[in-house]
Amino acid sequence: MRDLEFILRFFALSSDSMRNEQKEGISLKRFLNVFMESHRDPTDDELTAYSSRFTNAITFLHAAFGGTAFHNLSSTHPDRLVTKFNPTIFDSIMIATDFALSSNHAQLPADVEEARRRLLIDGAYRAAITKETMRVASIRTRIGKATTMLFGLEYE
């Protein structure tokens, strides 16, 4: 069920509710529950749109990075990626990609791997994916950094 939680996390953290959130921090569990409750009975068109957004973003990222799209750099060997999936990297890069795709500006740099490594070593991004990850400022910072460093766009 963790995979479903990550999909839900993608939709909830990219929602207008998150963009308009005024609190300093959120409880992820409560935020996801409220999001699910408010989207309890989606129409067929809404389901199609959700499916398309997720599929397009995940397909785009898999083509660019393969199976390690959501992995962090090793702290002991910074030239290597760890084998573990990272949820905060997932939400930031997925939301950034979804934003770029919806803006029709989903163009990664020629050296996509170098761009990803620059993102993963950026001090503000590292702090946003590791410390106080459910602070609204951290969520916005990691999404904004991913959007700017991978696509050259400002996350709105």
Counted domains in the chain: 1
Determine phi and psi for 14, rounding to 5 degrees: -100, 5
| Structural domain includes residue 45 | yes
Amino acid 137: pLDDT? 95
| Structural domain includes residue 78 | yes
pLDDT of 156 over the 80 cut? no
| Structural domain includes residue 77 | yes
Q: Residues 66-92, buried b or exposed e (16+ Cβ, 10 A)?
A: eeebbbbbeeeeeeebeeebbebbbbb
Identify the band that residue 14 occupies on the pLDDT scale cut at 50, 70 and 90: very high
* 8 Å CB contact between 99 and 142: no
User: What are the DSSP E strand ranges found in 11-80?
Assistant: 71-73
Amino acid 78: pLDDT? 83
In terms of Cβ atoms closer than 10 Å to its own Cβ (0-12, 13-18, 19+), residue 54 is middle
Tens digits of per-residue pLDDT, 39-80?
Answer: 999 999 999 999 999 999 999 999 999 999 999 998 888 889
Amino acid 151: pLDDT? 96
Which among 110, 81, 90, 67 has a CA at the least distance from the CA of 10? 90
| Structural domain includes residue 36 | yes
* Alpha-carbon gap, residue 129 to 7, rounded angstroms: 18
| Structural domain includes residue 156 | no
* 8 Å CB contact between 119 and 125: yes
| Structural domain includes residue 117 | yes
Q: Which domain range does residue 18 map to?
A: 2-151
